[in-house]
Amino acid sequence: MSKRITLLATLVLATLSLAVAGCGGGGEEAGGGEVTVELAEENGSGQSGTATLVPEGEGTRVTIELSNSPGAAQPVHIHPGTCEDLDPKPAYPLEDVAGGSSESMENTSLEELQNGDFAINVHKSADEIETYVACGDI
């Protein structure tokens, strides 16, 4: 009888572990509702990094860290769509990436950003706005 209980307990724990592991969305959720979005290199730019989205009040703080930044200001936006199918018209402008980082406060909830099919897109420069250097799906 004790072998049955041990087996049953093991099966229940395994099922719970799989259920917890299966939860998630486009970004990787950390403690406190914080979400980290991986920004992948695009167009051979050599630039990649992360965007960290943190709920603050009714808004969301967006912090971007980008490797191999050229030092010049690089526009960055939250666009409707995904990196594979991006709407070129931004939904939310963010502060330019300068020296590899940017921090912005958006007046929209993290939940809305996660449920609305959005991507964070970094552009090469204001003059070359059509050239994307890094992107990540929220």
Cβ contacts of 22 within 8 Å, gap of 6 or more: none
**pLDDT for residue 33:** 87
pLDDT tens series, the chain, 138 aa: 544 444 444 433 333 333 333 333 345 444 458 999 999 999 999 999 999 999 999 999 999 999 998 878 999 999 999 999 999 999 999 999 999 999 999 999 999 999 989 999 999 999 999 999 999 999
| 58: containing domain | 27-137
Number of domains in the chain: 1
CA distance 43 to 113: 25
Measured in residues, the chain has a length of 138
* 13 falls within a domain: no
The CATH code of the domain that includes 132 is: 2.60.40.200
